[in-house]
């Protein structure tokens, strides 16, 4: 199934939002971290998870994320259009770069240092004099000023959301940029602006920032865009003149001469392309294919490798998101009933080869997940809202129902029927109708035929309850348009939460985002208590405070039944042809494939002769 409906550029922002230590910073530093010390001291040689002597050369052909089956633009920073994957990560540099073996640390890239004011309401970066765009022009503070204004005023709504409290960006001199913050939620803001790509003002003077286009952008990163076939493939070519190729934060990285993304409208086509040798590597998200689809000669002969890589990141919020903007889903009992109609245990056994665990939390596989009864710290945050919150928020953390695995558990179905009836949706001639006699209809919006197989049992159960339930499959372009404009009853998506959640939460669960077209608030959550608890997360001054606020927020969201949670696995399952090398140590919070792997000429030669 499709794992996300958001443009990759927006998801990339979430993936690089990291927060700043609560301790005052009185002088320029080489890195910024959360609530504690940096792992890497000033002047470190390279990250521990790279091979500093990795050979350069060769190419890798892979597939775009399952959310992207086409592209029509290289402008990756706006809501309009479908941007090619890889543009943000490969073409543009940012002021600082994340270390993927730490949960929340960044080190200088374009900026050689950061200086956070003692009151946390500003940060000043010193730009390296050698930092240059691909056309040879220097990266200046003026480019940072332009980037800030363009992203905040015209960029994808996610940028405006996470930078809402960034008041200004000022060039103090050509190599010094200062960002000023307002309000109380300033903890994360130095890291947010540090992680933003730096865009060249000169290029965008000739290319409208708020429009789609397929001109090759001028960036400052390790790659540039080479040949492409719109909607089919795009090649990123390594730049031998990359200005930062000898920095400690890039040593041992970006080893492929070419990275090519191929796009497939059907998952099965991508699988067949891999087996035919047309692509080199893909991550497998379909349990059936992983269990049965790779019993092939290349795997048996060692030509193709199957590799499972642990994933220490939060597993993400994958599920069927219920659009509460539609009146028929206003009543929480209706949303609860939908959860009782989904039989995960049957699906896991019959469709997924028992390869998944059930998602219960919006912060699954992380320390932000609420477990059991609230702690005293959580209660201190929740009690002021006690008269406005469901009682279950103060008890054991809500969990999805567990079925008998039959596919139509009688007790669960009876409870679903009871909830629907109590909400005013009664049975009349076998059909579930509202008080006005209008039939209750639910349409699942999908864009992948494989999703129909998974939805089949869910829809059958809903139909047995008298609901006119169906799945509507549309092409990718229509799917994205409808999701961006919230034109659906229920749609599936997966969003990954951060190790240290921050302002990006508002784009997922905030009241303002509920009406902001293109936001990730799939269910249309508009709850002032949720807003207040997110504020506690964003302003937490210690890891303990952060965890208490995150768990309290999780309890409130789970008690709102805004989604029917799906499933997760804390690992990446990769299938690839045996022609690559990789460092001995994998970073905890990333696969490191395009970042740290390399083309192994000896393996490739052996593969070609067999």
- pLDDT score for 96: 98
292 part of a folded domain: no
Query: How many DSSP H helices and E strands does the chain contain?
Result: 19, 25
- Residue 297 in any domain: the answer is no
Query: Strand 96-98 relative to strand 105-108: parallel, antiparallel, unpaired?
Result: antiparallel
Using the 3D structure, point to which of 173, 204, 238 is the last residue of a domain: 238
How many domains are contained in the chain?
2
| CATH number of 82's domain | 3.40.190.10
**552: nearest Cα among 391, 397, 332, 359:** 397
Q: Are residues 234 and 323 in the same domain?
A: no
Same domain, 324 and 229: no
Question: Which of 222, 238, 254 is the C-terminal boundary of a domain?
Answer: 238
What lies within 8 Å, CB to CB, of 108 at 6+ separation is: 30, 31, 95, 96, 97, 114, 128, 249
Do both 322 and 229 map to the same domain? no
Identify the pLDDT of residue 497: 84
pLDDT at 133: 98
Side-chain half-sphere of 198: how many Cα atoms within 13 Å? 27
Q: Which of residues 552, 568, 584 is at a domain's end?
A: 568
Is residue 180 helix, strand or coil?
strand
Do 232 and 335 fall within a single domain? no
CB within 8 A of 280, min separation 6: which ones? 60, 61, 62, 274, 576, 577, 579, 580
- At a CB cut-off of 8 Å and minimum separation 6, what does 66 contact? 1, 2, 3, 4, 267, 285, 448
Within 10 angstroms of residue 322's Cβ, the number of other Cβ atoms is 26
Which residues touch 220 (CB under 8 Å, ≥6 apart)?
A: 92, 93, 110, 131, 132, 133, 134, 139, 198, 200, 243
Question: Could you tell me the CATH number of the domain that includes residue 396?
Answer: 3.10.105.10
Do residues 218 and 87 lie in contact, with contact meaning Cβ atoms separated by under 8 Å?
no
Domain limits for position 23: 8-34+56-238
Q: Are residue 223 and residue 133 in the same domain, yes or no? A: yes
Nearest to residue 238, comparing CAs of 56, 94, 55?
56
Helix (H, G, I), strand (E, B) or coil at 378: helix
Integer CA distances (angstroms), 206 to 136, 549, 565, in order = 18, 46, 45
Residues 220 and 368 in one domain: no
pLDDT of 337 reads 98
Residue 249 lies in a domain: no
What sign results for the dihedral spanned by CA atoms 229, 231, 235, 241? positive
Residue 361 to residue 365: CA distance in whole angstroms: 8
At 16 the pLDDT is: 36
First-last CA distance in the chain: 35
The pair of three-digit structure tokens given for residue 81, joined into one six-digit string: 């259009």
The pLDDT averaged over each successive group of 10 residues in the chain (610 residues) is 37 38 60 85 97 98 77 94 94 97 94 94 97 98 98 93 94 98 92 96 96 97 97 96 98 98 89 95 90 94 95 88 97 98 96 93 94 98 97 96 96 98 96 96 92 94 98 90 95 88 92 93 98 95 94 98 95 96 94 96 91
pLDDT at 66: 55
The answer on 362 and 215 residing in a single domain is: no
Token pair in block for residue 493: 């998506």
On whether the CB atoms of residues 462 and 470 are closer than 8 A, the answer is: no
Instruction: Determine how many CB atoms are found less than 10 A away from the CB of residue 180.
Output: 17
DSSP string for residues in 453-487: HHHHHHHHHHHHTT-EEEEEE--HHHHHHHHHTT-
Q: Are residues 366 and 226 in the same domain?
A: no
Residue 583 falls within a domain, yes or no? no
Residues 444 and 354 in one domain: yes
Same-domain check for residues 503 and 368: yes
Is residue 247 in a domain? no
Q: Residue 387: CB partners within 8 Å, gap ≥ 6?
A: none
With respect to residue 535, please indicate whether it lies within any of the assigned structural domains: yes
- Pairwise CA distance, residues 61 & 281, whole Å: 7
Q: Is residue 205 situated within a structural domain?
A: yes
Task: Decide if 405 is inside a domain.
Answer: yes
Q: What is the pTM of this model?
A: 0.84
Q: How many residues does the chain have?
A: 610
Same domain membership, residue 532 and residue 399: yes
Q: Are residues 467 and 366 in the same domain?
A: yes
């Amino acid at each position: 199934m499709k794992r996300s409906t958001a443009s990759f550029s927006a998801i990339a922002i979430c993936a690089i939002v990291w927060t700043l230590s609560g301790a005052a910073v009185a002088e320029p530093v080489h890195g910024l971290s959360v609530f504690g010390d940096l792992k890497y001291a000033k002047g470190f040689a390279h990250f521990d998870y790279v091979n500093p002597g990795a050979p350069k050369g060769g190419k890798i052909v892979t597939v775009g994320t399952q959310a992207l089956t086409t592209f029509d633009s290289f402008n990756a920073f706006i809501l309009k259009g479908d941007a090619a994957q890889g543009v943000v990560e490969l073409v543009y540099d940012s002021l600082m770069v994340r270390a993927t073996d730490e949960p929340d640390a960044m080190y200088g890239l374009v900026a050689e240092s950061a200086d956070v004011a003692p009151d946390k309401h500003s940060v000043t970066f010193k730009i390296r004099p050698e930092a240059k765009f691909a056309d040879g022009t220097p990266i200046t503070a003026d480019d940072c000023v332009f980037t800030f204004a363009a992203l905040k005023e015209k960029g994808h709504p996610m940028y405006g959301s996470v930078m809402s409290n960034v008041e200004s960006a000022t060039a103090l001199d050509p190599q010094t940029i200062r960002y000023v913050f307002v309000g109380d939620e300033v903890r994360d803001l130095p890291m947010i602006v540090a992680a933003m790509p730096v865009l060249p003002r000169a290029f965008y003077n000739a290319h409208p920032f708020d429009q789609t286009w397929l001109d090759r952008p001028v960036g400052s990163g390790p790659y540039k865009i080479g040949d492409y076939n719109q909607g089919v493939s795009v090649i990123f070519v390594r730049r031998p003149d990359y200005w930062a190729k000898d920095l400690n934060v890039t040593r041992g990285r970006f080893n492929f001469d070419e990275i090519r993304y191929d796009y497939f409208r059907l998952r099965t086509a991508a699988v067949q392309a891999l087996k035919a040798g047309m692509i080199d590597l893909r991550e497998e998200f379909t349990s059936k294919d992983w269990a049965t689809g790779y019993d092939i000669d290349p795997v048996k002969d060692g030509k193709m490798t199957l590799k499972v890589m642990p994933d220490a990141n939060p597993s993400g919020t994958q599920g069927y998101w219920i659009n509460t903007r539609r009146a028929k889903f206003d009543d929480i009992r209706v949303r609860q009933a939908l959860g009782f109609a989904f039989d995960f245990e049957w699906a896991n056994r019959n469709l997924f080869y028992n390869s998944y665990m059930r998602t219960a939390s919006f912060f699954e596989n992380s320390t932000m997940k609420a477990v059991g009864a609230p702690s005293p710290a959580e209660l201190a945050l929740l009690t002021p809202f006690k008269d406005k919150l469901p009682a279950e928020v103060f008890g054991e953390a809500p969990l999805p129902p567990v079925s008998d695995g039959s596919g139509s558990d009688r007790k669960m179905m009876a409870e679903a029927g009871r909830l629907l009836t109590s909400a005013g949706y009664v049975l009349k001639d076998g059909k579930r109708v509202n008080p006005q006699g209008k039939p209750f209809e639910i349409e699942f919006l999908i864009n992948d035929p494989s999703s129909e197989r998974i939805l089949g049992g869910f829809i059958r159960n809903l139909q047995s309850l008298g609901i006119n339930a169906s799945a509507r499959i549309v092409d990718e372009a229509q799917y994205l348009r409808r999701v961006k404009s919230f034109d659906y009853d229920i749609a599936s998506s997966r969003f990954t939460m951060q190790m240290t959640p921050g302002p990006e939460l508002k784009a997922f669960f905030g009241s303002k985002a509920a009406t902001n077209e293109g936001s990730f608030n799939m269910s249309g959550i508009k709850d002032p208590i949720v807003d207040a608890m997110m504020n506690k997360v964003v302003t937490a001054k210690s890891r303990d405070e952060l965890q208490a606020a995150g768990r309290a927020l999780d309890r409130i969201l789970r008690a709102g039944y805004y989604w029917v949670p799906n499933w997760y696995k804390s690992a990446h399952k990769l299938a690839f042809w045996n022609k690559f090398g990789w460092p001995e140590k994998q970073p905890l919070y990333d696969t490191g494939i395009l970042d740290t792997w390399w083309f192994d000429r000896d393996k490739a030669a052996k593969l070609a002769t067999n």
